[in-house]
Structure 1
Amino acid sequence: MVYEYSINGRLLKTGDVISTKDGTNSIKSLGFLVLGAAIPGDIDHSVLYVGPGGLCVEAGIFGVTSFTAGETWNSDETFAARGLLDTFVAASSVLSGHGLSSDEEDTARSFVRAYALGCVGKPYNLDFLHPDNERAMYCSQLVYLAYKNVGINLNVGNSGTSTRWSDTIVFPQEIFDNTTEIQKS
């Protein structure tokens, strides 16, 4: 099933990606700002929208979890469920521009949704150098693996850093850079 929901004025469909920056304007988010500074790029976190309503799946401090986002991104309201304070940056479509028919796109979106929901309960993955490990997940690894299973590789070795090992890591910025941004409607 493919769902639609508007977050921060962007009409999302099942399988679309929400990109955030660690921290908010709140003093209690200082630790998240420091964490975000260690991640290359402007995007620190990736979240999959799955629906219905504002249902999302992410890998974070509590492992892979689901939570319900409001029509306006407010990490203070979802902090208890997520353990993360972040700021909405953008939303994007992985499937846009891949030349899929409507039926093929719906099938891919449904598979991504099922994959993400099937990962709920897995622990957080601290082994960033092995993104094909499905026993545990970090945020952008969850997005990468969900789409790898429908034939789209988002780990293109474009980390924005200069170390040879870093290109094996799937960074949130890399996910965003290899998707199509959804404009505010």
Structure 2
Amino acid sequence: MDFIPSITEYDLYLYVFRPDLLSNAQKEYIEGRSEFTETIGHFRELAMHSKEHLTDSDQELLKSRIGVYRPGDNIIYLYPTQARQEVKKQPKVLYRAASVEVEEKLTSKTFFDEKKHYMVKANINHRTTKIYIFSGTGETLHNITIRIHPGNTLHHLDDNTQPLVLEGRVEVEHLSLDMG
């Protein structure tokens, strides 16, 4: 029986931004699975848009034209890119009498900011909601406050190397990030 690596959203992020941090087995497994194609496509789009940069003169022009423009404002608003999609997770085998394979529905939503410099992926099932935060530059983000709408709940992460894990099914329509 071949070893099947456990692949997370963060592994797919590393596959695009920092493939040197993944093992060869992980890279080969990701390359051989079509189920990762859409997520990898989102990360590649994020990488492409992160290379866009406002010059200092463009920022000054914006400040002169728009009185409320504040480049130091660290709040980033993210909205869904598509309608919700439901996928079935890989079946899990339960080892108990008369067990059957359990199919678990996973709802996955992808969110981008306006400039596509940040991406958030929310994976929601009936037991937990996991929220992954990614930067288009590949950098590790620190001291992140997440506001989930419509519930308007606040959550804090020290960095984005691990997902925010919330108990239960949390409805996420859009979110905002405050870094700093």
Pick the structure with more strand per residue. Answer: 2
Band of TM-score, shorter chain: under 0.3
TM-score (normalizing by structure 2): 0.24
Q: Computing the radius of gyration over CA atoms, which structure comes out larger, 1 or 2?
A: 2
Asked which structure has the greater RCO (Cα within 8 Å, sep 6+), the reply is: 1
